[in-house]
Amino acid sequence: METLLSVLADAGLPDELADLGFHAITFHIQGFTQQQLNYAMDARPESELYARFESEATADEIPHVVDHIRYHRECEPKHDEFAFVLDLILDGLERSTVPG
């Protein structure tokens, strides 16, 4: 906690923005970690999880979720999801310090 707050203070962020940044970054870390742990706790193969989901879900009821799951099943990620979102947070903090 101290290290992250120190980094934000050293970046010259005002107190309110440092607070928002601290919580955004820590929530991102906690949420991403929880998501990874949930995947690791289910010992079934990923293909079995997808098949079960697709057999229980219908595109008529939740079409966007079905498309999202299909995307994950069929596509290889082209970027590091954790780093991508962290970059968005940091870029937003940087933009918030620029007047205007």
Check: CB of residue 65 under 8 Å from CB of residue 57: yes
Mean pLDDT estimate for the chain: 87
Does residue 41 register a pLDDT over 70?
no
Check: CB of residue 94 under 8 Å from CB of residue 21: no
Record the pTM.
Answer: 0.74
Report how far residue 85's alpha carbon sits from residue 35's, in angstroms, rounded to the nearest whole number.
14
Does residue 54 register a pLDDT over 80?
no
Nearest-CA neighbor of 18 among 4, 31, 35? 4
Report how far residue 99's alpha carbon sits from residue 96's, in angstroms, rounded to the nearest whole number.
8
pLDDT reported for residue 44? 66
pLDDT in tens, 5-35: 999 999 999 999 999 999 999 999 999 999 8
